[in-house]
Amino acid sequence: MSTLDSPERGAASLPGPAPHILAIQAPYYRDVVEGMLRGAERVFADVHAAVEVAEVAGGYELPAALAMALKSPRRWDGFLLLGCVVKGETDHYTFICEAICQGVMDVATRSAAAIGFGLLTVDSIAQAEARSRNDRMNKGAEAAHAVLGQIALARRWGVAG
């Protein structure tokens, strides 16, 4: 892999109080998703974030779980969504991936919630494992940086998600 595949990131920073993050994960490929969560937790540790983890059955359930969390009386500063879909021999992969992505985007744009979207859509488990290792290619860490950036932007603009 090229070093251009993933940016080199320094320690995370976020103005204001330590954030509360809800990580919603679809652990169908548990080792992969837990590897991404560990990558995200390392990033969140830099800003002393409190992280709560909730599990759903699969990637398809991620958008609905996010919508439910946003309707909950509990409040989080941001949301981290983690999952993995591995391509098979049928069109199922395409339909599932498109539905998940569109569902998350619909919830995100309606709610203005700070979201880090860590859904791996890969051809093989080997590709997923490469993106969940404890290195700079960890997509959970990238999604954690994304949600912290969104939280910072929401705070700057006075937007409550």
Task: Indicate the pTM of the whole model.
Answer: 0.93
Give 7-33 pLDDT, tens digit per residue: 667 778 898 999 999 999 999 999 999
Residue 5's pLDDT is what?
A: 59
Q: How far apart are CA 24 and CA 60, in angstroms?
A: 12
Q: How far apart are CA 87 and CA 49, in angstroms?
A: 34
**Buried residues in 58-76 as b, exposed as e (16+ CB within 10 A):** ebbbbbebbbebbeeeeeb
The strand pairing partners of 22, in sequence order, are: 52, 79
The CATH superfamily holding the domain 23-156 is Lumazine/riboflavin synthase (3.40.50.960)
**Which residues fall in the annotated binding site for 5-amino-6-(D-ribitylamino)uracil?**
28, 59-61, 84-86, 117
Per-domain residue ranges of the chain:
23-156
Residue 7's pLDDT is what?
A: 64
- Give first-to-last CA distance, the chain, whole Å: 37
Residue 1's pLDDT is what?
A: 44
CA–CA–CA angle 68, 73, 79 (5° rounding): 50
Q: Which residues of the chain have pLDDT under 70?
A: 1-8, 161
> Which pairs with CB-CB distance under 8 Å and at least 24 residues apart come from 89-97?
93/121, 96/59, 96/60, 97/59, 97/121
Q: Which residue numbers are catalytic?
A: 92
**Which residues fall in the annotated binding site for (2S)-2-hydroxy-3-oxobutyl phosphate?**
89-90, 131
CB-based contact 85:93 (threshold 8 Å) = yes
